[in-house]
Structure 1
Amino acid sequence: VDFVPLPSDAWRWGRHRIALNSLLRRRAYDELWLRSREYRRVVTERIARGAYDVVHIDTIGLMQYADLVPPDVPVVLDHHNIESHLWARRGMNSTDALRSRFFATQADLVRKLEERVCGAVDLNVVCSDTDRERLLDIVPEAKVEIVPNGVDVEFFDAPAGAERAPRVIFVGTLDWYPNTAAVRRIAHDIWPLLRVADERIECDIIGGNPPADLVELAERDDRFHVHGFVDDIHPWLESALCYLCPIRDGGGTKLKILDALAMSKAIVADPIACEGIEVTDGVDILLAEAPEAYVEHVMRLKNADVRTGIERAARKLAVDRYSFRSIGRDFHALLEGLHRNE
């Protein structure tokens, strides 16, 4: 394994410089962010040293290095999201006119990149049927297969029906913009109603780099807790009454939902947070959009019988559909098929 740091990480105002360069050169931010002479040198050396059956390119911004792959080696392009859709949704959700315009421009630039490269690779891999449809709308001739995101169901495991503390929880990296927006929605829209509805309930926000306004709220409110990064989320997830996930942005599938399902966690989530995951409202998850709906669902989950039924169904879905073992077996078969056909 070779680790190559991003050059922009060492630059002053690195990402701002990339954004400006993207606009001036009319090249997608996703490409310029991952541009590195050192990375190109390392990939060139690796290709020269070994015979490869398949080359897996992990995101569309790395397709700029596909010219280094020998023409007889199949190339698989992995789409964690359909990036043009991600940029477009971010633009629609932004309340800042300048940012919204920048995001819309990026959506257009990335779409052109997708049109140029996705039909040329041997296989595109997406994580949901929704993303498959999005990609085929852009590049109808592309070969696309679904390999869902998964979860380690042995590592993330907890019994359903256990005693739960009167606490709601959110876990996620808090400087990633969909998560930042979600925790602010909890803090400013959902939590004030929930705090009044149950005088015992508390809220735990877990994740690195929390925004300052949430830290300040936690200092004023002794029932709202911002913990930052924790070494082990198991005890936090296991003891909580339910997991709140009001994410309304991003693409792909939300790994935090899969982790919580595997942990037999009752989840209250926005429908967008569950895109690409085969959940059933009222069976293995509770869906909500308005803050009042979140509060209503949390109150329902205080009933142990209701909560236990959802917890058991959540765990069953994670094990049956999203375990790494079954997903890895299916992906391996896809790669073997590519290799045999060459």
Structure 2
Amino acid sequence: MGEIIFLTHRVPWPPNRGDKIRSHHILRKLMEYRPVHLTCFADDEAEEAEESDIKASLASLQIIRRDKSNWLAGIEAVATGRPVSLTSFDSTKIHSYVQGILKARPIDCIFVFSGQMAQFVPADYNGRLVMDFADVDSAKFESYADDGTGPMAWINRREAKLLGAFETQVANRADYSLFVSEAEAQLFRQRSGLTKDKVKAVGNGIDFHFYDPSDVAAVELPHKGPLMVFTGQMDYRPNVEAVLSFSTDVMPQIIKRHADAQFAIVGRAPTDAVRKLDGLNGTMVTGSVDDIRSWIKAADVVVAPLRIARGIQNKVLEAMAMGKPVVASVAAAQGIDAVAGEHLCVANNPSEEAQFVCDLLSNREKAKLLGDSANRLIRSTYSWKTQLADMARLCGIEDDEIIEAAE
């Protein structure tokens, strides 16, 4: 029986943010079938020290602290003509680790999670290679460039061009390239010229036991007015832009009809720009919280007003799994197999977001029906078992191994 090397750009535990959720569940699935060697980066000492039951079951583990500064990564990128996304994650230790495992162990598959980790696959490796891009990152940088001006627009345009070329190069080499939604997969097929037999959609799932609305109490707030909630990592640019827009453009319209409405921005590491929203137009900024589910449970409406978004938004799936009515932008709803108006509200602009929220606050029966419909959809479609059903075969794992693992 062969073994697998799993490369990912962040420690895949705990599964508390979008990319880590996906890598965590894929890793667990592969560990059901084969010994897995994991190498990854940690953003800081706390993440490096995080415990998980996964550790003891891995064939080997290497965690590298990522401490290269942005300016040094930028200088290296300009000097080498490479994308900053690659130079900021480059590591001689990971290169050596992968080479060592390939020499010492019977590796027949390398699974790469996140494009920047593909640089660690040796040029002479000729075994199975599965590349999980999740999103088309180069398209994200194109969006940043289109929305920006001056030097940053140039930097983002350069990154989009170089990263796009790298993505296509990797995908041409890989046996399969995976994306989190059919929309992302189709976009990449158009950009790369590759076909459906090489570029596939493997969606995200939801841990139904964790996101069981009956298993958590709502956070208690002194304020008793209607509550809108946004969840996410609050130093991530699309999340920052989303809450800035909602607080300044949407909340004033909501307050005209619901004077005591509040908007909670719930998530770790809020930037200074996000913190300054606290107290503005009924906005509160919580920072990191003990249990994000308690805030979702307390919400009258969960909002996802992202102006730039790639793939599937876990924040939307989580809220829907907890039976909450969701108002999402077109970008945030993309990739979710849901019917607008039946499972969630999809708004084309800030004014529509305000209108949908106000309508749901004024009609609680309609809000409940929307949330209940969302809950049923997620539970019927978005289990991790369903989403990862074909993962073993993509990695070359034989049918008898799949049957044995199931037994």
**TM-score normalised by length of structure 2:** 0.76
Q: Distance in 1 between matches of 2:325 and 2:130?
A: 36
Taking the TM superposition and a 5 Å limit, the aligned residue runs for 1:96-115 are 96-115=149-168
Question: For the structure 1 residues 68 and 6, does the alpha-carbon distance in structure 2 shift closer, same or farther, using more than 3 Å as the test?
Answer: farther
Give unpaired runs (5+ residues) of structure 1: 9-13
1:337 CA displacement: 5.8
Residue in structure 1 matched with residue 45 of structure 2 by the alignment: none
1:65 CA displacement: 1.5
Residue in structure 2 matched with residue 135 of structure 1 by the alignment: 188
Deviations 1:57-115 (A, max 9, x none): 112212211117742x2000001211221111121122x32111111111110121123
Q: Distance in 1 between matches of 2:157 and 2:398?
A: 35
Question: For the structure 1 residues 220 and 189, does the alpha-carbon distance in structure 2 shift closer, same or farther, using more than 3 Å as the test?
Answer: closer
Residue 203 (1) aligns with residue 263 (2): yes
Secondary structure at the aligned position of 2:303 is classed as strand
Taking the TM superposition and a 5 Å limit, the aligned residue runs for 1:224-239 are 224-239=283-298
* 1:321 corresponds to which of 381, 402, 405: 381
1:21 CA displacement: 2.7
Contact 1:244/1:267 (CA < 8 Å) preserved in 2? Answer: yes
1:322 CA displacement: 1.4
Q: Distance in 2 between matches of 1:220 and 1:321?
A: 38
Q: Provide the identity percentage.
A: 22
1:291 CA displacement: 2.3
* 1:301 corresponds to which of 343, 353, 360: 360
Residue in structure 1 matched with residue 323 of structure 2 by the alignment: 264
Residue identity in the other structure for 1:273: A
Residue in structure 1 matched with residue 50 of structure 2 by the alignment: none
> Taking CA–CA contacts closer than 8 Å with sequence separation of 6 or more, which of the two structures ends up with the larger relative contact order?
1
Question: For the structure 1 residues 86 and 108, does the alpha-carbon distance in structure 2 shift closer, same or farther, using more than 3 Å as the test?
Answer: same
Residue in structure 2 matched with residue 245 of structure 1 by the alignment: 304
1:224 CA displacement: 2.2
Residue in structure 2 matched with residue 286 of structure 1 by the alignment: 345
Residue identity in the other structure for 1:88: E
Q: Distance in 2 between matches of 1:99 and 1:20?
A: 15
Residue in structure 2 matched with residue 332 of structure 1 by the alignment: 392
Residue in structure 1 matched with residue 25 of structure 2 by the alignment: none
Deviations 1:114-138 (A, max 9, x none): 2322111111111111111121122
1:326 CA displacement: 1.3
Secondary structure at the aligned position of 1:31 is classed as helix
Residue 58 (1) aligns with residue 113 (2): yes
Q: Distance in 2 between matches of 1:285 and 1:27?
A: 41
Q: Distance in 2 between matches of 1:135 and 1:290?
A: 26
Residue identity in the other structure for 1:201: A
**TM-score normalised by length of structure 1:** 0.90
Contact 1:157/1:263 (CA < 8 Å) preserved in 2? Answer: yes
Q: CA RMSD in A?
A: 2.3
Give unpaired runs (5+ residues) of structure 2: 1-60, 219-223, 401-407
Q: Distance in 1 between matches of 2:376 and 2:320?
A: 8
1:298 CA displacement: 1.2
Question: For the structure 1 residues 220 and 179, does the alpha-carbon distance in structure 2 shift closer, same or farther, using more than 3 Å as the test?
Answer: closer
Secondary structure at the aligned position of 1:264 is classed as coil
More divergent stretch after superposition (325-334 vs 142-151) = 325-334
Contact 2:176/2:394 (CA < 8 Å) preserved in 1? Answer: no
Q: Distance in 2 between matches of 1:69 and 1:113?
A: 17
Question: For the structure 1 residues 86 and 338, does the alpha-carbon distance in structure 2 shift closer, same or farther, using more than 3 Å as the test?
Answer: farther
Secondary structure at the aligned position of 2:208 is classed as coil
Question: For the structure 1 residues 62 and 77, does the alpha-carbon distance in structure 2 shift closer, same or farther, using more than 3 Å as the test?
Answer: same
Residue in structure 1 matched with residue 199 of structure 2 by the alignment: 144
Question: For the structure 1 residues 101 and 234, does the alpha-carbon distance in structure 2 shift closer, same or farther, using more than 3 Å as the test?
Answer: same
Question: For the structure 1 residues 90 and 315, does the alpha-carbon distance in structure 2 shift closer, same or farther, using more than 3 Å as the test?
Answer: same
Question: For the structure 1 residues 240 and 83, does the alpha-carbon distance in structure 2 shift closer, same or farther, using more than 3 Å as the test?
Answer: same
More divergent stretch after superposition (134-143 vs 114-123) = 134-143
Contact 1:165/1:241 (CA < 8 Å) preserved in 2? Answer: no
Taking the TM superposition and a 5 Å limit, the aligned residue runs for 1:217-228 are 217-219=277-279, 223-228=282-287
Residue 15 (1) aligns with residue 74 (2): no
Question: For the structure 1 residues 119 and 319, does the alpha-carbon distance in structure 2 shift closer, same or farther, using more than 3 Å as the test?
Answer: same
1:220 CA displacement: 5.9
Residue in structure 2 matched with residue 190 of structure 1 by the alignment: 250
Aligned pairs, number: 330
